[in-house]
Amino acid sequence: MPRNGRETKTKTQGLYDRIADVHNLAMKLNGYRDSVAKYLRSLDLNINSDSLVLDAGSGTGIVTHAFQDAGFKPKNVVALDISHKSLEVLRGETRKRKKNVVPTGCVQANVLTMPFADETFDLLLMCGVLEYTPLDDGLREAARVLKKGAPLVFLPVKPSIVGSVLELLYKFKTHPLKKVRETASEYFNISGNFEFPITEPISWSKTIFLLEKK
């Protein structure tokens, strides 16, 4: 697995530029967006019309749109991804939406070197992206752009049979959950670790950590 930002950008961007349309369709069919939206609605997030939200590693916008479906109305949602094609698909999907649309900006960048000032965001969403990076580097950069006390909703791929298949398909490496907890604790307080119901396909590959920046 590549361990620096330059190699990761070349390989990962190329992969997702090639598969963005197919990946987006797969995410629609498996109900990931509805599962994430339901979880987000259960949280007492202090999001209002002045809040700035970042979906880092947004891909084609499944989590961005799940956040909107959950009913939150921030000032702006920024979708950041390394893949130009994925962001193009996200823009197209956003234009199709008829309800719960909030201003959404797209930024093409690496999650290890995000082009934002320290303590910019009131909420950060990350799903299935730090599997492509050193965990410590990714969580440190996430903490940098978050305001003190702000939450990170973090959805890593969990070790599982499905996770192993996804490793091969998407060319990443799952981080052990023990390592996720240990590394997250360097920068965040861990408020909870949620498991999706087994009846929801997202449960086969993802778990959720609710973190709060120290």
Q: Mean pLDDT, to the nearest integer, of 198-212?
A: 95
pLDDT value at residue 104: 86
| Domain boundaries, position 106 | 5-213
Task: Report pLDDT digits (tens) over 160-201.
Answer: 998 898 899 888 999 999 999 999 999 999 999 999 999 999
pLDDT band at residue 113, thresholds of 50, 70 and 90?
very high
| Residue 79 φ/ψ, nearest 5 degrees | -100, 120
Q: Mean pLDDT, to the nearest integer, of 36-64?
A: 95
The contacts of residue 103 (CB under 8 Å, 6+ apart) are: 75, 76, 77
Q: Is the pLDDT of residue 77 over 70?
A: yes
The Cα–Cα gap between 122 and 77 comes to 10
Q: Mean pLDDT, to the nearest integer, of 67-92?
A: 94
| Residue 123 φ/ψ, nearest 5 degrees | -155, 140
pLDDT band at residue 122, thresholds of 50, 70 and 90?
very high
CATH number at residue 170: 3.40.50.150
Q: Is the pLDDT of residue 3 over 90?
A: no
pLDDT value at residue 25: 64
CB 147 within 8 A of CB 121: yes
The Cα–Cα gap between 82 and 179 comes to 25
Q: Mean pLDDT, to the nearest integer, of 150-161?
A: 96
| Residue 23 φ/ψ, nearest 5 degrees | -60, -40
pLDDT value at residue 4: 40
pLDDT value at residue 177: 96
CB 152 within 8 A of CB 129: no
Please state, for a pLDDT cut of 70, what percent of the chain lies above it: 88
Q: Cα 118 to the chain's mean position, in Å?
A: 19
The Cα–Cα gap between 4 and 12 comes to 12
Total number of domains constituting the chain: 1
Q: Is the pLDDT of residue 22 over 50?
A: yes
Comparing 76 with 104, which gets the higher pLDDT?
76
Task: Report pLDDT digits (tens) over 126-137.
Answer: 999 999 999 999
Q: Is the pLDDT of residue 27 over 90?
A: no
pLDDT value at residue 103: 76
Q: If you ran DSSP here, which 8-state letter would residue 72 be given?
A: -
pTM for this one? 0.90
